[in-house]
């Protein structure tokens, strides 16, 4: 009877791998909140939310003050983060810009697998992030500094720099739309809506772990490294597995 219960527990609780630590999850949550507020207030200032939407956010004057203040604070926070955590930022950039020729074909191959899993295999890669993630992250890495720099310029517009104002506004708006597109794709994958990404939301907004099966499918080389590394995240076996093997 107890062996039967242990077997059921083992089946119900798959092996998991640590994907993100607590510090990364907290920083991600704060960053996401700030970006969403800035995007919402920016859309309101551009009249994309309509008069009612802007009024719900507190009115044009309040939204403008919020957008400028939070935007400037966001830029300063990121500059401090880069200064305080250069090795972690450097590692992230290396992982994001790690591309091989075959990686550029990965997104199309993934779509073929996703919509016709019986006819196509999941494409392989050897990165910490899959190639589609990396492309989205590159979009974010391009958009955020341009948005921050142009926003700071608009906030502090020097008298002698007003000739460039129209160009800076265009850059700010264009990078905002790039950011919106990348954020939408990031949310689509991270929310777990996709069949291949079910449960992924807990990696950033939960315990920071992903199932072994998901890791094997989405990040096969990373999953192998974590499973055999003595210094990397350790495997967590389901409760009852040890008792069952002892029995």
- What are 122-171's pLDDT values in tens digits? 999 999 999 999 999 999 999 999 999 999 988 887 665 666 788 899 99
Give the pLDDT band (50/70/90) at residue 191.
very high
pLDDT at 108 (0 to 100): 96
Average pLDDT over residues 66-94: 96
Is residue 7 pLDDT above 70, yes or no?
no
Whether pLDDT at 217 is above 70: yes
Q: What is the pTM of this model?
A: 0.84
> For the purposes of burial, counting CB atoms within 10 Å of the CB of 159, is it exposed (0-12), middle (13-18) or buried (19 or more)?
exposed
Percent residues over pLDDT 70 in the chain: 85
Per-residue pLDDT, 242: 42
């Amino acid at each position: 009877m107890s062996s039967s219960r242990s077997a059921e527990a083992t089946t119900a609780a798959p092996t998991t791998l640590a994907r993100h630590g607590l510090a990364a999850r907290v920083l991600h949550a704060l960053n996401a909140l700030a970006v969403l507020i800035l995007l919402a207030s920016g859309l309101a200032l551009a009249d994309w939310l309509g008069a009612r939407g802007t009024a719900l956010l507190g009115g044009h004057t309040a939204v403008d003050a919020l957008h400028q203040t939070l935007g400037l604070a966001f830029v300063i926070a990121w500059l401090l983060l880069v200064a305080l955590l250069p090795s972690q930022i450097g590692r992230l950039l290396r992982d994001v810009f790690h591309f091989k020729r075959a990686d550029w074909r990965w997104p199309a191959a993934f779509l073929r697998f996703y919509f016709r899993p019986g006819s196509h295999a999941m494409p392989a890669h050897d990165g910490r992030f899959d190639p589609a993630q990396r492309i989205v992250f590159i979009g974010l890495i391009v958009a955020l500094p341009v948005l921050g720099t142009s926003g700071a310029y608009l906030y502090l517009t020097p008298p002698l720099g007003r000739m460039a104002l129209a160009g800076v506004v265009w850059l700010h708006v264009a990078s905002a739309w790039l950011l919106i597109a990348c954020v939408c794709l990031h949310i689509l994958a991270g929310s777990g809506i996709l069949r291949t990404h079910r449960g992924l939301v807990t990696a950033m907004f939960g315990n920071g772990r992903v199932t072994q099966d998901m890791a094997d499918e989405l990040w096969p080389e990373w999953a192998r490294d974590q499973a055999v590394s003595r210094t990397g995240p350790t495997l967590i076996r389901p409760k009852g597995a040890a008792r069952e093997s002892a029995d």
